[in-house]
Structure 1
Amino acid sequence: MRVAVTGGNTVGSSTATSAATSVVTANAQPPANVVRPSVNGTAQQGQTLTGDPGTWSGTQPITYAYQWRRCDSRGASCVDITGATATTYVPTASDVGHGLRVFVTASNIGGSATLGSLPTAAVTASDPVIAAVGDTACDPHDPYFNGGLGSSTYCHQKYTSDLLVNGDYNAVLPLGDMQYDCSPASAFAASYDPTWGRVKSISRPAPGNHEYKSTNPDLYGYNLCKPNAQDYYGYFGTSAGDPTKGYYSYDLGSWHVIVLNTTRGCSVISCAAGSAQEQWLKADLAAHPAACTLAYWHEPRFSSKTPSTKSDAFWKDLYAAGADVVLNAHVHNYERFAPQDPLAGADPARGIREFVVGTGGRSHESSGTTVAANSEARNSTVFGILKLTLHASSYDWQFVPQAGQSYVDAGSGVCH
């Protein structure tokens, strides 16, 4: 509408017209909810939830604004989640155990109204994602160390560790020989800590033979080696278990995880049947009859290059208990085996799948001249890590190469 005003006097008159008003509506009706807002998707950490505004009556057009709120498990005592004002929301670790609601504010010319959805189920934690690798950081006296930048084929600890930083891993499993030549504290400080130390807080290591190397001088002529992996345990602290043992276990999601210690060919701490370590393994397996079990240590039982029978007893106990995955390093390459029994017999129903992941960055070695039974994948030229996603009754694996290199090996397996 416009209004025209005419003014007049003895001389004459003139008319001026106002600007137009907005479109006249007939008794503008504010928004009123007809169908309540809702949340679509799975309430799990890392999974996208989508807010549906529901249905509203009232004068059109109606616009919608969103605010996600974190509530207790019953959907009460809700508080705004800072910045969560889009139609979608991805739950984080802070949301685990809480219900989530989306509150929708509908607005039009007649006013506004706000209504929340019913709460989601309590948010569950995401399936754990872990990274594993061994044979990692060069000694700072190594001629290829190059201030930590390495060469084209040696000392790539920086580049493999870059794969983990901000990678949203739940745990990192260092598989032994993390720091060459004999893991002195000074080398940890100069080589491992600036690179792989960036994920130290989530690392659960297994020691290798170089951690237990104690003969001086070391490979580079320095008298820095100490007995019983002293500086390894000093660096990792309680995350490495009891320093008189080096073997321990923990749970990760629904999986039971076992760390064993092959020292230097099991010469410092025995791995033999009947040894304290092997008896502990039996007892730990009996006490944790999980649907899915993963074990890791340094020296592999099976390898196309350097197999070791020292861990025979470990394999027999794990196989008898229905374990699923074994991770090793020591051999500086990558190799994946089909599920097999302790005698290298193919066993797709109850066998254990072994991965050798010695690609942490120190160097490479060949895959051997004779391919071992049940070996399914091998690579001896690419540095990288093994990524495992641990589901409730299965697992996914993926070899992740360092930036600029290429190698693909990925797949899935089921627990026994």
Structure 2
Amino acid sequence: MRTRTRKTSLIAAGVIAATLFGTAAAVAVPVLQGDWPYAGQSHGEDAKTYTLAAVGDIACEPDDDDNAATPAALKCGSPSLGGYDAEFATAKQTDAMKPDAVALLGDEQYEVGKLSDFEGSFEQAWGGLKFLERPAPGNHEYYAYTKKGDNEAGQNGDGYFAYFNGHDQSGTPNTAGQAGDDSSTNQGWYSYDLGNWHIVSLNVECNSPAFGNDCSTTDGGLLAQETRWLADDLAHNQKQCTIAYWHQPTISATTASTPTVPASAPGAGGQEGQVADAWWKLLYANHATLILNGHEHAYARFQPLNPAGQVDTKHGIPEFIVGTGGEALDTLAKNLDGSFANPNVVTGYDQGYGTIKLTLGQHGYSFSYAPALQGAGLPASALDYSDSGSGSCNR
């Protein structure tokens, strides 16, 4: 396990909404003396920029007694996975960014996100950044995993909330904390502020018992309540710039084109991405700046899009997929001529692992992405990729 020394002293756990993260939904984080948490950075109301790191799909399943029945190919140490090397590499890369916050884009822990798995894998690499982490859950934190010879029951968010929010002696998660509420009326959606930026973390894992296996955004179910909460949160937002993130992307980069479902179609990547089309419509109507997703184990940057997946250079929202946290790699969907199957993908990378750095200014942002480790069996030249740029807030 990593250890490090920082020139800060922890006084007590508390709510930092009035200091670093503005006055949004309460998120339990430590109150620190001195700089937060790195020397030489200004974080008062007059701060001009903030650094937000973002990545998902991170930690391999530990090879321990709790996972004795899991096939070796699915656990840390498998040659087909990024494994510990990859998750430590992305954690080190993220730490070097000196972020003010880290947006985790779901599937933090494979295969089903048990608390013991979080403690045995994710914590080993990413634990040093824990109190900067602003997570969203993924399907591997909620759903059962019954593929590739494995048969593990879904955790319904229990391990996820127990790790990020804390738990009692029996392992029962606290009902509120860093990952938002864990209750029958709120499954971990929340918002926070960084300077002039309003940032929203959402939970799209609706096909789970916690959501009543109900993926409607318009009935009386939990996902519909979350959607109404999002509408209200955006309506009351006073910040010029807005980021929203959740796990499964609405617009896909790895789903190959078919005659009936092209990769550029909203929801091409699955049920959760399809239902989140309602969130795209809300975010578009409220002039959101960026949408971040994971789930697809690659990096992809899209053109500014409207909710129909069409290029809209005036009011559209760029989507970033950053599913390169360490667990495994997918293949970007391409046509026979090598072009992206989704023509709205500006650039993409599926040869290694890395975290995106977003620098959030008063009225705009810049971004940079570079891999921290190449994929298994790939040459060092796989690290030559990089992507960077900037944009303005839509309000």
**With structure 2 as the length reference, what TM-score do the two structures score?**
0.70
AA at the equivalent of 2:387: D
- Which of 128, 132, 143 aligns to 2:54? It is 132
User: How far is 1:133 from its partner?
Assistant: 0.7
Q: Which residue of 1 aligns with 2:388?
A: 410
The 3-state SS of whatever aligns with 1:376 is strand
Could you say which structure has the higher helix fraction?
2
Task: State the identity %.
Answer: 36
Alignment of 1:17-416 (within 5 A): 92-93=40-41, 124-141=46-63, 143=72, 151=79, 154-155=82-83, 156-214=86-144, 221=150, 225-237=153-165, 238-244=177-183, 245-263=187-205, 268-269=210-211, 272-274=216-218, 275-306=224-255, 307=269, 308-370=273-335, 371-403=341-373, 405-416=383-394
AA at the equivalent of 2:106: G
Question: 2:73·2:80 contact (CA, 8 Å) conserved in 1?
Answer: no
Flag the structure with larger Rg. Answer: 1
Question: 1:271·1:278 contact (CA, 8 Å) conserved in 2?
Answer: no
User: How far is 1:185 from its partner?
Assistant: 1.3
Question: 1:140·1:191 contact (CA, 8 Å) conserved in 2?
Answer: yes
The whole-number CA distance in structure 1 between the counterparts of 2:190 and 2:208 is 16
The 3-state SS of whatever aligns with 2:243 is strand
- Supply the RMSD in Å over aligned alpha carbons: 2.5
What's the CA shift string for 1:100-130, capped at 9, x where partnerless? xxxxxxxxxxxxxxxxxxxxxxx94251111
> Could you tell which deviates more after superposition, 163-172 or 253-262?
163-172
Residues 228, 166 of structure 1: alpha-carbon distance in 2 compared, 3 angstrom cutoff = same
The 3-state SS of whatever aligns with 2:142 is coil
User: How far is 1:157 from its partner?
Assistant: 1.0
Structure 1 stretches lacking a partner, 5+ long? 1-89, 98-122
The whole-number CA distance in structure 2 between the counterparts of 1:268 and 1:367 is 32
Q: Which residue of 1 aligns with 2:171?
A: none
Question: 1:209·1:265 contact (CA, 8 Å) conserved in 2?
Answer: no
The 3-state SS of whatever aligns with 1:233 is helix
What's the CA shift string for 1:193-225, capped at 9, x where partnerless? 01011211100000000000246x7867575x4
AA at the equivalent of 1:173: A
Aligned residues: 298
Question: 1:175·1:329 contact (CA, 8 Å) conserved in 2?
Answer: yes
Could you say which structure has the higher strand fraction?
1
Residues 126, 369 of structure 1: alpha-carbon distance in 2 compared, 3 angstrom cutoff = same
**With structure 1 as the length reference, what TM-score do the two structures score?**
0.66
Question: 2:55·2:355 contact (CA, 8 Å) conserved in 1?
Answer: yes
User: How far is 1:294 from its partner?
Assistant: 0.2
- Greater relative contact order structure (CA < 8 Å, 6+ sep): 2
AA at the equivalent of 1:369: K
